[in-house]
């Protein structure tokens, strides 16, 4: 064997395992897109869920991550980008991201890790039989937001005037109706303040002070997630016990949050992706509801505000920051 033949033989030996691997079941390189409105969503949990199912980035899966960085208007362009590069599945972190993906494609499967009112908003035909190219996990956000108002009253029993900070979002109207209904039951008066831009936050808190608000309920919105540290600081400055929909707010200084366990839901979204990559049709995979909920309380913030959190509530909390 001459030198040329030896080199070719060695090359063949070196590439044979790769070629064999590529022909084995599961050896296909899958291409998954991940679309979120910004930071604060548990992407790592989704990635971990894929790893648990045998997917290794760079070996049998590639993940194209797109973030709107808190600017909801960017979601549509990012969704179109994922469609253009022909990903196999698009995973979305929120309702707005799911709607953007829905407008971008009717053929590529879409899995929402957390979307609310999926039937009412036309994302799926029904929870049991979604139909079309979309399925995933819903968060019961309207009901959970009303529950947060109850917990706020439990932490601050004397509170009667609650400011509600909200921004235009697909399910805002329904959430506000649920909150208004809960407020009547709890004997609370609400002051609803709409915020469309981060620059309006300071004036929103000034309005709360002028109205003599005693506590704050923040509704879900990507902009609020992106500016959660500033929101916590403003709530502290204006001495308002505050409640949110993600524990990240509490970790950044907010008083309390109650919500579905988004980490668990993101991990479960990986299961949908696995089934779809193996041939299942999204329209035949039922939409699932959360099975775990998280209560987070920042005791340090409570002390600074002069709020005494009941021991019974602290015992219920999944995360207590001291």
Retrieve residue 260's tokens.
Answer: 């579905």
pLDDT tens digits, 196-240: 999 999 999 999 999 999 999 999 888 898 899 999 999 999 999
Task: Tokens for 217, please give them.
Answer: 């309920």
Tokens encoding 174: 């329904």
234 Cβ contact partners less than 8 Å away, ≥ 6 residues apart: 201, 202, 205
pLDDT for the residue 265: 94
What's the first-to-final CA gap in the chain, in angstroms? 73
141-260+294-321 in CATH: which number?
3.40.50.2300
Summarised one tens digit per residue, pLDDT across range 232-251 is 999 999 999 999 988 889 99
**Comma-separated ranges of CATH 3.40.50.2300 domains in the chain:** 3-139+262-292, 141-260+294-321
Q: Which is higher by pLDDT, 276 or 139?
A: 276
- Asked if residue 157 lies in contact with residue 202, where contact means CB atoms within 8 angstroms, the answer is no
User: pLDDT at residue 60 above 80?
Assistant: yes
Q: What is the pTM of this model?
A: 0.75
Place of tokens 């959970």: 144
pLDDT category, 310, cuts 50, 70, 90?
A: very high
CATH, range 3-139+262-292: 3.40.50.2300
pLDDT at 6: 41
Q: How far apart are CA 195 and CA 205, in angstroms?
A: 11
Contacts of residue 14, defined as CB under 8 A and 6 or more positions apart, other chains included, come to: none
Mean pLDDT (whole number) for 129-152: 91
- Cα 75 versus chain centre, distance: 14
pLDDT exceeds 60 at position 17: no
Angle at 184 between CA 183 and CA 187, to 5 degrees: 80
Judge contact between 72 and 198, C-beta under 8 A: no
- Strand, helix or coil for residue 296: strand
Local confidence band at 27 (pLDDT 50, 70, 90 cut-offs): low
* More confident position, 292 or 18: 292
Per residue in 154-189, pLDDT tens?
A: 999 999 999 999 998 777 888 899 999 999 999 999
> Token pair of 26, please?
């599961």
Within its chain, how far is the Cα of 121 from the centroid?
17
Mean pLDDT of 19-46: 74
- CA pair distance 230, 251, nearest whole angstrom: 12
Smallest Cα–Cα separation from 272: which of 35, 8, 91, 38?
91
DSSP 151-205: HHHHHSTT--EEEEEE---TTHHHHHHHHHHHHHHHT-EEEEEE--SGGGHHHHH
pLDDT per residue as tens digits for the range 253-303:
999 999 999 899 999 999 999 999 999 999 999 999 998 999 999 999 999
Q: Would you state the pLDDT for residue 223?
A: 87
Q: Do residues 98 and 112 touch, judged by C-beta distance below 8 A?
A: yes
């Amino acid at each position: 064997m001459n030198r040329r033949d030896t080199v070719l033989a060695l090359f063949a030996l070196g590439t044979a395992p790769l070629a064999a691997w590529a022909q084995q079941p599961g050896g296909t390189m899958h291409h998954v897109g991940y679309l979120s409105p910004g930071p604060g969503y548990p992407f790592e949990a989704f990635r971990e869920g894929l790893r648990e199912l045998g997917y290794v980035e760079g070996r049998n899966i590639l993940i194209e991550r797109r973030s709107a960085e808190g600017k909801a208007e960017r979601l549509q362009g990012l969704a179109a980008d994922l469609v253009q590069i022909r990903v196999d599945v698009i995973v979305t972190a929120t309702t707005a991201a799911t709607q953007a993906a829905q407008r971008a494609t009717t053929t590529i499967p879409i899995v929402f890790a957390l979307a609310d009112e999926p039937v009412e908003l036309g994302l799926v035909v029904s929870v049991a039989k979604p139909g079309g190219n979309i399925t995933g996990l819903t968060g019961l956000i309207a009901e959970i937001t009303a529950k947060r108002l109850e917990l706020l009253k439990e932490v601050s029993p004397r509170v009667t005037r609650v400011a509600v900070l909200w921004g235009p979002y697909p399910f805002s109207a329904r959430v506000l109706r649920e909150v208004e209904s809960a407020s009547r039951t709890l004997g609370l008066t609400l002051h609803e303040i709409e915020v469309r831009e981060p620059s309006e936050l300071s004036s929103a808190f000034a309005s709360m002070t002028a109205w003599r608000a005693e506590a704050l309920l923040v509704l879900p919105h990507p902009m609020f997630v992106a500016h959660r540290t500033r929101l916590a600081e403003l709530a502290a400055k204006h001495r308002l016990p505050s409640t949110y929909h993600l524990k990240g707010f509490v970790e950044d200084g907010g008083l309390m949050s109650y919500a579905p366990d988004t980490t668990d839901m993101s991990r479960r979204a990986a299961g949908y992706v696995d089934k779809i990559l193996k041939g299942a049709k999204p329209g035949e995979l039922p939409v699932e509801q959360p099975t775990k909920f998280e209560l987070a309380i920042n005791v340090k913030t409570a002390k600074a505000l002069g709020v005494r959190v009941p021991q019974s509530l602290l015992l219920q909390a999944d995360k207590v920051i001291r």
